[in-house]
Amino acid sequence: MNLVKRIGIFKDNLKIAVRAIRSNKVRAVLTMCIIAFGIMALVGILTAIDAIKSSLTSQFTLMGANSFTITSRGMNIQAGNDRQRMRNHSTITYRQAMEFRKTFNEPAWVSISFNATSMSTVKYGSEETNPNVSLVGVDENYLAVSGYEIERGRNFSPDDIEMNRRLVLLGSDIVSNLFPTGLDPVGQDVSLAGLKLQVAGVLKSKGASQMSDDNICLMPVSTARQYFSRPNMNFNITIMPLNPVNLDVLTGQAEGMFRIVRNLAPKDESDFNIVKSDTILNMLLKNIRYVTLAATLIGIITLFGAAVGLMNIMLVSVTERTREIGVRKAVGAKPKTIKFQFLFESILIGQMGGIFGIILGIIIGNAVSTMLRSSFVVPWLWVFMGILVCFIVGVVSGYAPAVKAANVDPIEALHYE
């Protein structure tokens, strides 16, 4: 019986609240909009941040998940406030890289590569690319550790590397520029920096992302060494385990082995860097936390203004409905019932504005997700937090007006004009 009675009271309060909101449409809608904008800012930015995190994670996975790279300590990475200052160390030579590859016997892919140039031009017939093509000298294991895949043609073979063959793998952007008619580029001869090369294969596109590059050419590292030689050439060594292992353990083994290759004494400091595939990602995600904090503060400030506006509209509503309150008390309504009615109305306005803001926030946040070609994101935690925050705003804003309404003298209220 009590449950049925409570459901009936709830329905009555809902009808009264809806009728009151309809009678003050302009003020109620404005207050809902203020609440909606606060929640929209909060949920929208946080949805966009979740989309950015998802995009970054997927792109770093494509670049070679669970891998690490040995580089010269002259190459430093800086993100945000994580700044390193180091003296220049000797470069990693081809001989050292090859010696490490031969002596590192752990079950893992080991790839040697170097950046030959980032300002090359590729030509085929009358077609020509802009002089901004990256050319990388690689071995047969590079595709496995870098996340690139072959769309057409084939990868380099160990014989190609050993025989210094003039082959090239083209990125998808270069293929679309040089072969607009749809001609299969595999087997065709292209000119790169004045060097005639045969196209061995085409790389599958990684998509439009800041963390991937389809405007790239790969050629055998031995051939690149021969035609793009320069003083102090620096090579990178990338290692990716064949099976899931503790990457820290494998990193320690690789460091110990390369120290031997570099002829370092036990007391000497390692004169090279070991960069894990997720190091840059973790630094970027760390800096995104500040954006999350800023978004939260913006939402809280906006919601504070919404709470003040909601409290004002409820106080005005109490004043305008003084005679109505007197009539209800005259027919037996208790102060507790009057208080709950006004509190219910305040909560209803807050929830309506919050739901509208959540929907707008998810739409705006996923617009960013669409631009990043990321999956549709719904930050359920922040959705529930938004509903809870709007409930709190409704209670806090409506409590004082509800108490004022409950304490109205029914005799004075009946004479109120």
Phi first, then psi: give them for residue 148, nearest 5 degrees.
-80, 150
Burial class (CB in 10 A: 0-12, 13-18, 19+), 80: exposed
Residues of the chain by 3-state class (helix, strand, coil), percent to 5: 55, 15, 30
Stated pTM of the model? 0.58
- Tens of pLDDT, residue by residue over 58-82, are 666 555 557 888 888 764 444 444 4
Q: Do 261 and 98 touch, CB atoms closer than 8 A?
A: no
- Tens of pLDDT, residue by residue over 12-58, are 767 777 777 777 777 778 778 878 887 887 788 777 777 777 766 66
State which amino acid sits at residue 82: D
Residue for token pair 């959540």: 358
Query: What element of type H or E holds 272?
Result: strand 272-276
By three-state DSSP, how is residue 93 classified? Answer: coil
Give the pLDDT score at 58. Answer: 63
Give the pLDDT score at 84. Answer: 46
Q: Where are the domains of the chain?
A: 2-59+283-414, 68-276
Structure tokens given for 217: 């050419």
Euclidean distance between the first and the last CA atom of the chain, given in angstroms as a whole number? 40
Give the pLDDT score at 51. Answer: 76
State which amino acid sits at residue 194: G
HSE-CB for 79 with a 13 A CA cutoff: 11
Burial class (CB in 10 A: 0-12, 13-18, 19+), 92: buried
Give the pLDDT score at 153. Answer: 93
User: What is the distance between the alpha carbons of residues 199 and 217, in angstroms, rounded to a whole number?
Assistant: 10
Contacts of 195 (CB under 8 A, 6+ apart): 166, 227
Q: Each residue of 326-335: b (16+ CB within 10 Å) or e?
A: bebbeeebeb
Q: Do 145 and 239 touch, CB atoms closer than 8 A?
A: yes
Q: What is the pLDDT tens value at each position of the chain, 417 positions in all?
A: 466 666 766 677 677 777 777 777 777 787 788 788 878 877 887 777 777 777 666 666 555 557 888 888 764 444 444 444 444 567 899 999 999 999 998 888 999 999 998 888 999 988 888 888 999 999 999 998 887 889 999 999 999 999 999 999 999 999 998 998 888 999 999 998 888 999 999 999 876 544 457 889 999 999 999 888 888 888 999 998 887 677 778 888 999 999 999 888 888 888 888 887 766 666 666 777 777 777 778 777 877 777 787 788 778 777 777 777 777 777 777 778 788 888 888 888 888 888 888 888 888 877 877 776 667 777 788 788 888 888 888 888 888 888 887 787 766 666 555
